[in-house]
Structure 1
């Protein structure tokens, strides 16, 4: 694949903890404009990979290249400014703010106004139109003035995606976006991810194989910290090694 088609590449990415290798020689290639899923059994190294990509962990070896620039040694804030934005597995919104206020906080961070508490309310209100537009993009227009703690779980995850979008991601990392959801919420959040991925690149860790099969353009399977298989969902789901890796887990039926 030509490098200009790739938004993110890792070469021999490795992370060891006191002699234990959590991630080993991972060569990941994420195509620009795609939805790319990172899957694998529990303990496969998926979250460690995410932590390496967003520099919450420092690689023991290997390199990370984003938009043709080596970002291996950059700090988390530098990477975020480049447009690599992560949405966390556990909902990262302020429960006692409204949905609109949560998005506005994210917009303030993006605009550098985070700590300018002395700014007038009028200056902050200028962000409201963008906040409301983002809420509309994730289907939360009717919940703009609802306290976040009163939102149903699926709506909270939609709000989290709105706050992620407020940071203007070029590469959006979603960490198990449908975890803990009922069937209806899973379907709505899956549709939301498909919708907001237009014009963006999404790299997601996800356990639900129905979600992966319906929206992922490409899948990378990790096992014990190393890449086991890569390809389309159809390709990896028929790979004997992948089926063996999932044997005996709850995901086995979904993989077949």
Structure 2
């Protein structure tokens, strides 16, 4: 595997009782790029994510990260190696403040991961770093806001801050703009662009307008297999891609 690629899958297959959900997928994610995984519903995008983060084990094929074979590594090892996933559904603690949420994620650096019974004082050393991460994602004003009271788009920004707290080398973002209005979509897209500096991001995203703005490279899946790959201009003009988004050819050309 070339040093240029942080992640590579080779002939990745996942079968469920004879149904092929992921069909011989070869994926190469270049270091420092934002790489988008797109495709119609049921294309296998989330299954690929689940294979990469070890929530599922491949039926066949290999996954390599920084040249090492991680096909059968456990989820905790994947996270330690620097692959961190942000979930489709907001994965923050609703009754903690924004600052407390980021601090929980930062506890790993103290070797006291998720010890909720530790005194608050022992976590104060993390405040400066937590505040810096909140500033990075534009949430300084929400420092002491209980998460359940934050607007949806701001919760997603907080989730990205907690992901960044784990210092990922590769961030996997699963539908980061799902369920958002235009204004929030634009804010989160801007945020992803900002935090991508010096990092590699692989994202599943249904909003093709966001993909067109952010992605350096796009892999299109259909029925579990790679249908097309390239930059946005290339894949959006591909007749096979337009057909896969049946009745949505405007989408493939750059609409929402």
**TM-score with structure 2 setting the length:** 0.96
* Equivalent-residue separation in structure 2 for 1:104 and 1:194 (angstroms): 24
The residue that corresponds to 1:68 in the other structure is: 67
Relative to structure 2, which stretch is displaced further, 109-118 or 63-72? 109-118
- How far is 1:22 from its partner? 0.2
Per-residue CA distance 1:44-79 (angstroms, 9 max, x = gap): 000000000000000000000000000001000000
**TM-score with structure 1 setting the length:** 0.96
Gaps of 5+ in 2: none
The residue that corresponds to 1:80 in the other structure is: 79
* Equivalent-residue separation in structure 1 for 2:130 and 2:205 (angstroms): 27
Classify 1:244/1:205 alpha carbon distance in 2 versus 1 (closer, same or farther; 3 Å). same
The residue that corresponds to 1:46 in the other structure is: 45
* Equivalent-residue separation in structure 2 for 1:48 and 1:110 (angstroms): 30
Gaps of 5+ in 1: none
The residue that corresponds to 2:238 in the other structure is: 239
Per-residue CA distance 1:1-26 (angstroms, 9 max, x = gap): x7110000000000000000000100
2:35·2:201 contact (CA, 8 Å) conserved in 1?
A: yes
1:177·1:206 contact (CA, 8 Å) conserved in 2?
A: yes
* Match runs of 1:162-241 below 5 Å: 162-241=161-240
* Equivalent-residue separation in structure 2 for 1:240 and 1:111 (angstroms): 52
Per-residue CA distance 1:78-117 (angstroms, 9 max, x = gap): 0000000000000000100000000001111344212445
* Equivalent-residue separation in structure 2 for 1:110 and 1:28 (angstroms): 31
Question: How many residues of Structure 1 are paired with residues of Structure 2 in the alignment?
Answer: 253
* Equivalent-residue separation in structure 2 for 1:74 and 1:192 (angstroms): 31
Task: Provide the alpha-carbon RMSD of the alignment.
Answer: 1.1
* Match runs of 1:116-131 below 5 Å: 116-117=115-116, 119-131=118-130
